[in-house]
Structure 1
Amino acid sequence: MKNPHQFGLSISIALLLSACGGGSSTTVSTNNTGTTTTPSTTASKPALKQAANNAELETLIKQQMLEMYGTVRSNMYPCGKGSDMCIMPVMATTTPSVVADTSKSVSSTNTQETNVDEADRIKTDGTYLYTTATDQPNVRIFKTNGASNTLVKDLPVGNDTNTRLSGLYLDGAKLVALAEEQQIYNIWSRWFIPSFWQNQQSQMYLLNVANPENPTQTAKLTVDGQVISSRRIGSTLYVATRHSPNLPNLNQYPTTEAEAAANRALIDKATLADFLPDYQLNGGSKNEIFSGDDCFMTQYTDKKSYQTSIVSLLAIDMNSATLTPQGKCFAGDTETLYASTDAIYLATTSYNYPVPVSVDASGNSTSTSIVYAPNITTDLHKFSLAGGINYRGSGRVDGHLGWNQEQKPFRMSEHKDVLRVVTYNGDNDLSTNPSPARLTTLQENTANQALDILATLPNKNRPTALGKPGEQIYATRFLGDKGYIVTFRTTDPLYLLDLSNPSDPFVASELKIDGYSDYLHPVGDNYLLGIGKDAIATAGGDEGRGAWYQGVKLSLIDITNPATPYEKQKIILGKRGTETAVSQSHHALTTLQQGANLQMALPLSLHDGAASDSSAAPSTYYNWTQDELYRLNINTQTGTMQALAPIVSKTASATDPYSYSSYQWPNDRSVMIGEFIHYLHGDKVISQAW
């Protein structure tokens, strides 16, 4: 399987260029601690401006619509007219929370923040497992009984074969199933193609599971737009959606002046209600979600916005039978959501891809290469959750949040009202940038609705680089007043950050070890577990990164003394070709603390068979052996790791040399209930004693 980091990289440099906005001119200043602040733009502001009235908001949206559809665009055929330029972004998958039977120890969904639930395909109440089917919009409910389970209900929640369930939430006797239309697009589509987001709807099905073996659907909420991400805090479900306005008979790609003129006439006649998203309850009539004073406008004046879209941040009370969405919206874009218990931050990268141009013999200009511009910035919009959703302010930081949609939320963290953000500033080649990664701390300024920068790393007084030239950011994690960043090219530098003074953060230490980590997980108070890949440094390597990736690596780091961390123990699973679902979604990792013992389970596609060639070189792949749930006990006091026998879901056939993985492993999950574990592989649950 291709390395996901490089896969995202190849997407990012091959995006449809004309669909992206640009950066802006910048100036750099230094605060009184010697910290170089993030560049400030001279021609645009990241802050959201509340529309003075409906007319002002309508005018803005119409201007954006006219820019996109009111002129001839004969050279732009994304997602249509035979084009293969469509881009399919990796959506941020969401994950469930678990309401535990208080008489048992029950694992919960692995989430970024405590008490901020995420949606996934499995959750439990300590007796029943609630899961989503893999190939149909069904909720499947299993009753567990020690080392066994029984399917007690297979409940269809949608009657559209194109609908898929994207995640579940459980709050007491209420189960919410999130659903969306299954899109079949080329891998090159979505984020930068506004038409993808048009005519999209997302559904939320509310089920009463007081009697899990006879659940009833009590409500269905449909909202215009595609879900970007969601969270649950208490009984409130927070959902961020993106909706691209459309009009009947609007020509998506006008190739003549007559078609463009017809589009302009349609846009001029439309009203604000035609552009803003609506909602439906139980398939009834459409209702407006927002009025004009609920929506904001981005204040960019230095670039055209070819992405005419409405971003909505909605709050839905799961205890309400009506499931009425309430919240705020703004005309603009966003790509990811981070939530603390007090606030939600929406982040948007201002993409800009300069394209060097040459001229052929006929005088036609041709693009020769694509350069990832070094002046990319990311805008951050904060919304407080106290007493409803309220806009608090915006800020801008240098760099972007990376190419992996799953990892973007982990680039952010709020602690004691301070937002910490890690961005990537290196380019795609062997960068001369001395620090590919940058840390920025920001704090809300109530006087001007801004997120003011407190400090950045590195800076004049704290010059230690975060990463070496040519490295990329792989994993980040914030835990209290500590931060951890993994960068990689040929080895894995782990940077430990001291954030106790957000106005003067510093690098406490750096640890170099083989391989890299995609995900970092706290183990007690003194250890950090990195999950990723082993690697052998050599010339060339995967994607020219100077190393060949090998088997999955579990690296237990002793962080008792932040100044002198060390790798206490490592485990290498399988050989080159081995993958773990945790590298794709942190929800695939399951843990349960039992006294001093941390039980841990992660799905694995194990390649430990014969070599694919006779060279046995670091670049050699090995045949698939089996799909399994790998299990581990970790003593959180001594840092000792002890592997248990894996639970195997599919094994290579000895008589069939062409047998291969079922490719279900990326969606595999598990739940621990008391002394038993339940392994979800596809639509099958395997139960046994831990």
Structure 2
Amino acid sequence: MKNPHQLSISISIALLLTACGGGSSSTTTTDPVSKPALKQINSNTELENLIKQQMLETYGTAYANYGGCTSDACIMEIPVAASATTGTTTSAASAASDSASNVSSTNTQETNVDEADRIKTDGTYLYTTATDQPNVRIFKTNDASNTLVKDLPLGNDTNARLTGLYLEGGKLAALAEKQQYYSMWNNWFMPSYWQNQQSQMYLLNVANPENPTQTTKLTLDGQVISSRLIGSTLYLATRHSPSLSGLVQYPTTEAAATANRNRINSATLADFLPDYQINDGSKNAMFDGTDCFMTQYTDKKSYQTSIISLLAIDLNSPTPTPQGKCFAGDTETLYASTDAIYLATTSYSYPSTTPAIASTSVSSSSGTSTSIAYYAPSITTDFHKFSLAGGINYRGSGRVDGHLGWQQEQKPFRMSEYQNVLRVITYTGDNNLTTNPSPAHLTTFQENTANQSLDMMATLPNSTRPTALGKPGEQIYATRFLGNKGYLVTFRTTDPLYLLDLSNPADPYIASELKIDGYSDYLHPVGNNYLLGIGKDAIAVDGGDSGRGAWYQGVKLSLINITDPANPSEQQKIIIGKRGTETAVSQSHHALTTLQQGNTLQVALPISLHESASNYSSGASTYYNWTQDELYRLNINTQTGTMQALTPIVSEAAVANSYSSYQWQNDRSVMIGEFIHYLHGDKVISQAW
């Protein structure tokens, strides 16, 4: 067995690619031994033995030369965790719900599936998270003005931060976690990063927003991967990495390894499984062994032992207690419809029999040449479905080639459930281009209740429909599923937008392809006939940014006419700023705010504008200086497909020798009636639309 501690560089790369979704080896989709399906744990003993086996593989062997270090300084003990006792959807929710109200809501992937964000509103009050402390700040709006009426600290840990809010009726749920700071020897890709992590949910009664009261503090072992709110039920996916006090994390002597083995073997299941606490009370077990599952990979070794929990919390309960399921393994993202939640996990495997697909001759300083062979990994992604009817219940799993990309924000958009069919777009460009020329693949799945599996219905491209999704060397940028249509943006020099017809999930096909300049990071429905792409303009050159064949320019808004799916066209485009200009929408779709007012869709997005003269000029690669942070606004006529830009709201402008504060990345806005409220940092700017 290879020791993961001796492969710190390899581990960091693998976990970076999978967002901590890897470690467990996986083979190809045709491997009959390594199954994607989760296996029910039969007893506490079975789960305890499984976790101990993984812990012993990681901590039970001495490695005297870890990373070239042979001193006792390499030995780090895992500290004792601090005790808390001492201290059927079709389109964007905003596009649907805003048309039925006069108040904008959080821009979400699916209708009626809310997502956590740093601002929520009830139409009169704004509930926001502070940027530098664990505080909820409440503002009362009055047309074109606002007043801070409450600045409420939650907890006394100055290292904690609120990660998102949910507003349900007269209740406000605030999610929090402790910020982590690590040295180069204790980075996020190390097992220790995920150990001793805790997350909190603070439940507030905001029936009187100017005098809110905290009703519950729920503390969970583990870190929240993602969350959703459906009705009054909050769903959380968390990752808990078991640890034991006194365990030497990197044993460099046999004595330390022996002590680790003794400590692991003497532990009980309760020492490994996550707990929860209500109002800093006694710890309670979150699961019994039979509430959990295990993966069925051929190679069960992993770089770290993790317990993934999928929890449901009823916010209307007088005692909001987490209930759900868990599995020993890992996951990287969550997608939710109103009926089910899917957890996705990508695995990278390098079988010893894999042939080299490329060879390069490299000259060294001594003048000798070395031939370097490249071995392509086998990359697969598993999907685990849990239904939400009558509690959380495991329904089955499926596997597909490729992965969900590198941007955590965009991974959920690679998936969609429509009429009980799961549609998935994966990136397969890492594979050998001579046998796999398509950088993207679409796969449709259907639940098979007889054997708890997600059976593959179709893939695209295929032998009948061989046209590739994207060109060799292109990456996947924006993806969006809307009803029985799918939209995919790939990019290298130009932006091919693919329109996919999914009306027959057993035989999907490319309805059309539109090539335009630049690319889109995010796609948003505008009425029934248009699609708004938000991304960057680009100028084609040899080389370009990271060898992408183009220099990125200003932020591009592209309104695509999709009235005839077979003949889409770019109806209108707007370029904001010059090279260096950014929008928070490229990092989080929550930064986009829309509100339908009659035939007009009001749109607002934060911009960090760069168009001031640069100190140098090199043509298309010139990077312009920061000018200001602003909220860019426009009206889109959903009948005629015309965009009209309004005067931006400036929140912060450059002065001599000043630089952007990067607060724009967390900027948000809310529309209430005829007024707009712009959250920049911890201040709110209000004015008429």
Q: TM-score, length-normalised on structure 1?
A: 0.89
Structure 1 partner of 2:172: 175
Q: In the aligned structure 2, how far is the partner of 1:406 from the partner of 1:429? A: 27
Deviation at 1:15, TM superposition (A): 4.9
Structure 2 partner of 1:87: none
1:23-102 to structure 2, matched below 5 A, reads: 23-26=25-28, 39-74=29-64
Structure 2 partner of 1:471: 474
Structure 2 partner of 1:91: none
Residue type matched to 1:518 in 2? D
Structure 2 partner of 1:680: 679
Task: Tell me which of 305, 308, 319 is aligned to 1:322.
Answer: 319
Q: In the aligned structure 2, how far is the partner of 1:315 from the partner of 1:78? A: 46
Structure 1 partner of 2:423: 420
Deviation at 1:301, TM superposition (A): 2.3
Identity %: 78
Residues 431 and 218 of structure 1, relative CA distance in 2, 3 Å threshold: farther
Task: Tell me which of 251, 274, 277 is aligned to 1:277.
Answer: 274
| 2:576 counterpart of 1:577 | no
The 8 Å contact of residues 493 and 513 in structure 1, kept in 2 or not, is answered as: yes
Deviation at 1:612, TM superposition (A): 3.2
Residues 519 and 124 of structure 1, relative CA distance in 2, 3 Å threshold: same
Residues 370 and 683 of structure 1, relative CA distance in 2, 3 Å threshold: farther
Task: Tell me which of 380, 386, 396 is aligned to 1:393.
Answer: 396
Q: 1:285 aligns to what SS in structure 2?
A: coil
Task: Tell me which of 216, 220, 224 is aligned to 1:219.
Answer: 216
Deviation at 1:501, TM superposition (A): 0.4
Q: In the aligned structure 2, how far is the partner of 1:551 from the partner of 1:379? A: 37
Q: In the aligned structure 2, how far is the partner of 1:376 from the partner of 1:166? A: 31
The 8 Å contact of residues 96 and 168 in structure 1, kept in 2 or not, is answered as: no
Deviation at 1:628, TM superposition (A): 0.1
Structure 2 partner of 1:33: none
1:288-303 to structure 2, matched below 5 A, reads: 288-303=285-300
Structure 2 partner of 1:237: 234
Q: 1:263 aligns to what SS in structure 2?
A: helix
Q: In the aligned structure 2, how far is the partner of 1:266 from the partner of 1:673? A: 58
Q: In the aligned structure 2, how far is the partner of 1:103 from the partner of 1:439? A: 33
The 8 Å contact of residues 539 and 546 in structure 1, kept in 2 or not, is answered as: yes
The 8 Å contact of residues 571 and 641 in structure 2, kept in 1 or not, is answered as: yes
1:94-133 to structure 2, matched below 5 A, reads: 105-133=102-130
Deviation at 1:372, TM superposition (A): 7.8
| 2:198 counterpart of 1:201 | yes
Residues 23 and 271 of structure 1, relative CA distance in 2, 3 Å threshold: closer
Q: In the aligned structure 2, how far is the partner of 1:316 from the partner of 1:19? A: 25
| 2:469 counterpart of 1:461 | no
Residue type matched to 1:689 in 2? A
Deviation at 1:76, TM superposition (A): 5.1
Structure 2 partner of 1:31: none
Residue ranges of structure 1 left out of the alignment (5+ in a row)? 1-9, 27-38, 84-94, 362-366
1:506-585 to structure 2, matched below 5 A, reads: 506-585=509-588
Residues 485 and 97 of structure 1, relative CA distance in 2, 3 Å threshold: closer
The 8 Å contact of residues 20 and 352 in structure 1, kept in 2 or not, is answered as: no
Q: 1:65 aligns to what SS in structure 2?
A: helix
| 2:649 counterpart of 1:647 | yes
Structure 1 partner of 2:87: none
| 2:492 counterpart of 1:489 | yes
Structure 1 partner of 2:666: 667
Q: In the aligned structure 1, how far is the partner of 2:420 from the partner of 2:39? A: 23
Q: 1:618 aligns to what SS in structure 2?
A: helix
Task: Tell me which of 385, 392, 417 is aligned to 1:382.
Answer: 385
Structure 2 partner of 1:256: 253
Q: 1:321 aligns to what SS in structure 2?
A: coil
1:431-446 to structure 2, matched below 5 A, reads: 433-446=436-449
Residues 19 and 595 of structure 1, relative CA distance in 2, 3 Å threshold: closer
Deviation readout 1:381-439 (Å, 9 max, x if unpaired): 00000000000001111000000000000000000000000000012998873100000
The 8 Å contact of residues 498 and 513 in structure 2, kept in 1 or not, is answered as: yes
Structure 2 partner of 1:633: 635
Deviation at 1:320, TM superposition (A): 1.3
Residue type matched to 1:297 in 2? M
Q: Which moved more, 1:658-667 or 1:570-579?
A: 658-667
Q: 1:376 aligns to what SS in structure 2?
A: strand
Q: Which moved more, 1:181-190 or 1:409-418?
A: 181-190
The 8 Å contact of residues 47 and 449 in structure 1, kept in 2 or not, is answered as: yes
Q: In the aligned structure 2, how far is the partner of 1:476 from the partner of 1:294? A: 35
Residues 59 and 97 of structure 1, relative CA distance in 2, 3 Å threshold: farther
Q: In the aligned structure 2, how far is the partner of 1:78 from the partner of 1:140? A: 49
Q: TM-score, length-normalised on structure 2?
A: 0.89
Structure 2 partner of 1:623: 625
The 8 Å contact of residues 121 and 131 in structure 1, kept in 2 or not, is answered as: yes
| 2:504 counterpart of 1:501 | yes
Deviation readout 1:631-682 (Å, 9 max, x if unpaired): 01000011000000000001112xx1x2121210000000000000000000
Structure 1 partner of 2:78: none
Q: Which moved more, 1:313-322 or 1:626-635?
A: 313-322
Alpha-carbon RMSD? 3.1
Residue ranges of structure 2 left out of the alignment (5+ in a row)? 1-10, 76-91, 365-369
Deviation at 1:253, TM superposition (A): 1.0
Q: In the aligned structure 2, how far is the partner of 1:70 from the partner of 1:340? A: 42
Deviation at 1:97, TM superposition (A): 9.7
Residue type matched to 2:495 in 1? D
Q: In the aligned structure 2, how far is the partner of 1:19 from the partner of 1:628? A: 36
Task: Tell me which of 307, 312, 326 is aligned to 2:309.
Answer: 312
Residue type matched to 2:623 in 1? Y
Q: Which moved more, 1:555-564 or 1:12-21?
A: 12-21
Q: In the aligned structure 2, how far is the partner of 1:590 from the partner of 1:670? A: 6
Structure 2 partner of 1:153: 150
Q: In the aligned structure 1, how far is the partner of 2:125 from the partner of 2:457? A: 47
